[in-house]
Amino acid sequence: AAAGGFEPGALQRRIQIARILPPAQREGNGRERVVIDLDERQFVGGTVPAFPMAPADSVTVFAVAERETRFVTVTGNVWTPGRVGRIDGMRLSEALRLAGGGKPDSYRGQISVSRLRADSTRLQLRAAFQGDDGAVAPDLVLEDDDEITVYSLTNFRPERYIVVTGAVRKPGRVPYRDGMTIRDAVLAAEGLTEGADLREAEVARLPGDRSNGVMARSIRTPLDSTYLVEREREGRYLGPPGLAAPAAGAPEFALEPYDNVLIFQQPEWELQRSVVLDGKVHFPGTYTLVSRTERLSDLLARAGGLNAEAYPAGVEFYRRQGNQGRIGIDLPQVLRDPTFRDNLALVTGDSIVIPAYTPVVRVVGAVNQPVAVAWTPGKNMEYYVNAAGGYSRLADAGRSFVTQPSGRVESVKRRFLFGDGLPKPMPGAVVLVPERDPADQRDILPIIGGIASILGSIVAVIAVSTR
């Protein structure tokens, strides 16, 4: 009573006391607590008996079980699926009626009833719709926890679709609808893109006969200007110019499930292509290419040519297409001879920079003092490395290379018995000395010994031949 009485969800006949034993009753084995259940036979008229309490007693009143009873569950293709209260003698047809009944597209051949047995396994029972009034046969008598499932025909129907590709804004799979036409498919694909060819489309259809390896039947069907939706009030199409679209009058082409519709792109149609020209030209900027064959020299001519500060040997040519990056170009030779191979045809996204003349050579990497060195005519890579303090102890001198200002890379040319061919940096070049790979440590003494042996053999042969 001191706790305020029982809550509505209390299981009053299930009360438990957790008690700490008095010191005199403890056995010293670590078990010093006991659990006491009040026997429901002690309850008189539903009243909790007087029970002596001890200090530190903890009383637990259990809640009634969560399990519910007297209901069945209706799932699937009915209007109001869920639990339905069950009364004694309730039949399947009544439960379906209370759940709103089956929808018009319900599968009539079977209704599944899953029944829970005493051992928690389930028994599968079956019934079927009879007529359109909700009657079923057999009209089973239901039991608690029965699960009733009504199936939809769409559960068993294969997904029907068409595929739209080509010059549409949203190519891909589109759900098929009875009576669908190519026009419906184009609208479902959010319309045509600029440059769509409206003379005809192609439909690839599943063949009736797959013999001899036939996989599809190709059908060409005409289109017309009515497929162009975006127009002015006067009817003029608002898109970019292209091939003239045929006048209205093309027949509507009915599609079938799994058709593939291809809307063609007009041959060689595309929007303008742009390139960027920057640096020491008279009119730098973003230029739109005027033809597919416009070349680097043509673009420079349109930009007014190079100005007095330009350094053509240092041209930086970048191609975004295909992630090609920087391309080495011999621009001085291109300017002298437009038929030279480096006079590339331009593509959209190209970027060309003509730098100012820079009479220095940068030396970077495994040298003692990376530095920019004034360019000296005729000097090779070794000269500039020495000007940077020479190779560091970690340098891999044999793999050193020069990146010329045009982007071309020149490495050391190995020559047996003769001096190595060292590249000669031009103004604006970069000399890079890589570090030696720690994993590539080879003993140099056997190599030197082998070379000495070869040289000794050559000397001996020469001595014999001169006697």
Find the CATH number of the domain harbouring 325.
3.10.560.10
Same structural domain, 175 and 235: yes
Same structural domain, 27 and 115: no
Average pLDDT in the 200-211 region? 92
Which of 371, 410, 376, 399 is CA-nearest to residue 387?
Answer: 371
With respect to residue 407, please indicate whether it lies within any of the assigned structural domains: no
Same structural domain, 260 and 305: no
Q: Which of 3-7, 198-202, 421-425, 437-441 has the highest mean pLDDT?
A: 198-202
Output the average pLDDT for the chain: 87
Per-residue DSSP letter, 142: P
The token pair that represents 233 in the structure block? 């009030």
Domain boundary among 104, 132, 155: 155
Residues 6+ apart with CB under 8 A from 256: 205, 206
- Pairwise CA distance, residues 90 & 118, whole Å: 20
With respect to residue 143, please indicate whether it lies within any of the assigned structural domains: yes
Same structural domain, 151 and 165: no
Average pLDDT in the 340-353 region? 95
The token pair that represents 145 in the structure block? 């926890």
8 A C-beta contact, residue 265 and residue 196 = yes
Residues 6+ apart with CB under 8 A from 323: none
- pLDDT beyond 80 at 231: no
Same structural domain, 250 and 178: yes
Confidence band for 132, pLDDT divided at 50, 70 and 90: confident
With respect to residue 415, please indicate whether it lies within any of the assigned structural domains: no
Q: Encode pLDDT of 147-175 as tens digits.
A: 999 999 988 888 999 999 999 999 999 99
pLDDT at residue 149, as a whole number = 98
For 423-449, give one letter per residue: b (16+ CB within 10 A) or e. bbbbbbbbbbbeebeeeeeeeeeeeee
Domain boundary among 126, 155, 184: 155
Q: Encode pLDDT of 411-449 as tens digits.
A: 887 655 455 678 999 999 999 999 988 776 554 545 555
The stretches of 343-401 forming alpha helices (DSSP H) are: 381-387
Higher pLDDT, 162 or 48: 162
- Pairwise CA distance, residues 367 & 388, whole Å: 6
pLDDT at residue 227, as a whole number = 84
pLDDT at residue 461, as a whole number = 46
Residue 54 belongs to domain spanning: 10-63
Same structural domain, 151 and 166: no
8 A C-beta contact, residue 261 and residue 282 = no
Chain Cα centroid distance, residue 455? 61
Same structural domain, 300 and 342: yes
8 A C-beta contact, residue 188 and residue 263 = no
Helix (H, G, I), strand (E, B) or coil at 201: strand
Same structural domain, 106 and 20: no
What percent of the chain lies above the pLDDT cut of 90?
A: 59
With respect to residue 145, please indicate whether it lies within any of the assigned structural domains: yes
pLDDT at residue 14, as a whole number = 84
Tally of domains within the chain = 4
What percent of the chain lies above the pLDDT cut of 70?
A: 86
| CB-based burial label for 119 (10 Å; 0-12, 13-18, 19+) | exposed
Same structural domain, 40 and 78: no
Q: Encode pLDDT of 303-316 as tens digits.
A: 999 999 999 999 99
**CATH code for position 140:** 3.10.560
β pairing state of 172-175 and 196-205: unpaired
With respect to residue 388, please indicate whether it lies within any of the assigned structural domains: no
Chain Cα centroid distance, residue 299? 38
The helix, strand and coil proportions of the chain, stated in percent and rounded to the nearest 5, come to 15, 35, 50
Confidence band for 334, pLDDT divided at 50, 70 and 90: very high
Average pLDDT in the 261-286 region? 93
Residues 6+ apart with CB under 8 A from 429: 361, 362, 402, 403, 404, 405
Same structural domain, 312 and 224: no
Same structural domain, 229 and 146: no
Per-residue DSSP letter, 156: T
pLDDT at residue 431, as a whole number = 94
Domain boundary among 310, 334, 354: 354
Q: Encode pLDDT of 382-395 as tens digits.
A: 999 999 999 999 99
Q: How many helices (H) and strands (E) does the chain have?
A: 6, 24
Cis status of the peptide bond prior to 52, with omega within 30 of 0: no
With respect to residue 282, please indicate whether it lies within any of the assigned structural domains: yes
Same structural domain, 134 and 47: no
Which of 196, 393, 456 is CA-nearest to residue 182?
Answer: 196
- pLDDT beyond 90 at 141: yes
- Pairwise CA distance, residues 201 & 96, whole Å: 50
Tell me the β-bridge partners of 272: none
- R_g over Cα of the chain: 45
How many Cβ atoms are within 10 Å of 68's Cβ, its own excluded?
9
Higher pLDDT, 438 or 465: 438
The stretches of 71-216 forming alpha helices (DSSP H) are: 92-98, 182-188
Q: Encode pLDDT of 59-105 as tens digits.
A: 888 888 877 889 999 999 999 999 999 999 999 999 999 999 999 99
With respect to residue 133, please indicate whether it lies within any of the assigned structural domains: yes
- pLDDT beyond 70 at 26: yes
β pairing state of 409-411 and 401-403: antiparallel
With respect to residue 367, please indicate whether it lies within any of the assigned structural domains: no
